Amino acid sequence: MGDYVAYVSLPLYVASLTASTFSLAVTYSLETVPALLLGLVGGVLLDRLPLRSVMIVSDLVRAGAFFALGGLALDPSPSGLYLVFLLAFVIGSFSSIFQNGMFAVIPSLVPPQHITQANGRIATSQQVALVVGPFLAGILASSFGVGPGFFLNGVTFLVSAVSVFMIGRVPVRLEAEERKGFASEAWHGLRFLWNEPRLRASTIAAAAANAAVGFLESTLVVLGVDILGANEAELGTLYMSLGVGGIVGAIIAPRVIKRYGLGRVLTFGLVLFGFSFFVVLRVGFGPLALLLFFVMFIGLSLVNVPLFTIRQTYTPPMMLGRVISAARTIGWSTLPVGALVGTAIADSTGYERVAQLAPLLLVITGFGLVFSSIWRDTFGPGQAISRVAKPSSS
């Protein structure tokens, strides 16, 4: 839940130190750019080291970083902004390692036929946190300031570390390969990703879409307050509607995927997310905005669950760390670019003008997947899209 308390509390804290929208984008970028800087090397480490231990260390480091932010928030000063940037980078670095490790460990814990359901449950738990976290952060910020939210973040990461420890021993990935240098192994994972058509298409789509998401996500506070006219408490309600939509999307995703396939669901999710975001820019805060935020994150869950499963399904077990990390490195590389370039343009030309263009990229990316291998065959190795017809014929 700590990630999603920070979703509101960290931007609010930065906004309290400076009026610059660009500073919000810098903070967001420093949380996301480690996926680019550390992704390939981190993937090699994940294939070499015990995944559970890596995840526990990542949680402990993030807990310490948020406790430090809580201390800074007790005596806020614009001069502390650069330390906030540094802590955001530390948080982003270990969040990247933890997330990659989490998705790499799933195939070792569940049978192949249940991977989609496992990803759906993880997405559901994340969206439950998105419901509670931002709402709680908004209440805490309006009542006590952002400091309590940072301390709460630190506690949640300690709870996560204990939970990961309680998983117990993770089964060893039986397939082995000769260990070479870091660069050689990282290149091997990247080459496999590019040569597998479904991994390649889904990764390119993620990178294109994330250019828009980076701008939109890094400035959601601006969208909620300046465009929709929400106050701090109402901003928490908007985020809560995102989380509820994400929960619904994550719950239905495994069943929809079983019927239509990973690729078709991913494509539909992108279009739904982009279209809903495009429309929400034209309404003020109220029931319609809450409904559109709800639908938006149904679409996002219908993107994320099949995207995770595609990476896990089409990657050999001994390469999961490298391939998942490489895919996320490429996909996330455009998040800070979209955030920094988009907000730099928005600061000079106006936020709303840039925001209206960003969701269109999501829709265009979704329609582009119709012409790729993602659309034709993503039920799993050797299982073609012809399976779509089977349920209706029985």
Query: Could you report the per-residue pLDDT of 257-300, keeping only the tens digit for each?
Result: 988 888 899 999 999 999 998 888 788 777 888 898 899 889 98
What does pLDDT average to over the chain? 79
pTM score = 0.74
pLDDT of residue 174: 47
- Supply φ then ψ for residue 106, to 5 degrees: -55, -45
175 or 346: which carries more pLDDT confidence? 346
Comparing C-alpha atoms, which of 302, 324, 259, 256 is closest to residue 108?
Answer: 324
273 or 130: which carries more pLDDT confidence? 273
pLDDT of residue 391: 37
Least confident among 41-50, 248-257, 274-283, 327-336: 41-50
pLDDT band at 232 (very low <50, low <70, confident <90, very high): low
203 or 181: which carries more pLDDT confidence? 203
Comparing C-alpha atoms, which of 100, 72, 75 is closest to residue 86?
Answer: 72
Classify 141 as helix, strand or coil: helix
Query: Taking residues 379-385, what's their average pLDDT?
Result: 51
Q: Which top CATH class is 2-168+180-389?
A: mainly alpha
What pLDDT, in 10s, does the model give residues 153-165? 888 899 999 998 8
pLDDT of residue 387: 42
The structural domains of the chain, with segments of one domain joined by +, span: 2-168+180-389
Q: Is the pLDDT of residue 19 over 70?
A: no
How far apart are alpha carbons 58 and 52 in whole angstroms? 10
pLDDT band at 20 (very low <50, low <70, confident <90, very high): low
Full DSSP string of 330-389: HHHHHHHHHHHHHHHHHHHH-HHHHHHHHHHHHHHHHHHHTTSHHHH--SSTT--GGGGG
273 or 356: which carries more pLDDT confidence? 273
How far apart are alpha carbons 386 and 368 in whole angstroms? 21
pLDDT of residue 390: 41
Contact 246, 269 (CB under 8 A): no
65 or 114: which carries more pLDDT confidence? 65
pLDDT band at 388 (very low <50, low <70, confident <90, very high): very low
Classify 1 as helix, strand or coil: coil
pLDDT band at 389 (very low <50, low <70, confident <90, very high): very low
Query: Taking residues 239-264, what's their average pLDDT?
Result: 87
Contact 140, 9 (CB under 8 A): yes
Q: Is the pLDDT of residue 316 over 80?
A: yes
How far apart are alpha carbons 153 and 119 in whole angstroms? 23
pLDDT band at 4 (very low <50, low <70, confident <90, very high): low
Comparing C-alpha atoms, which of 38, 29, 101 is closest to residue 312?
Answer: 101
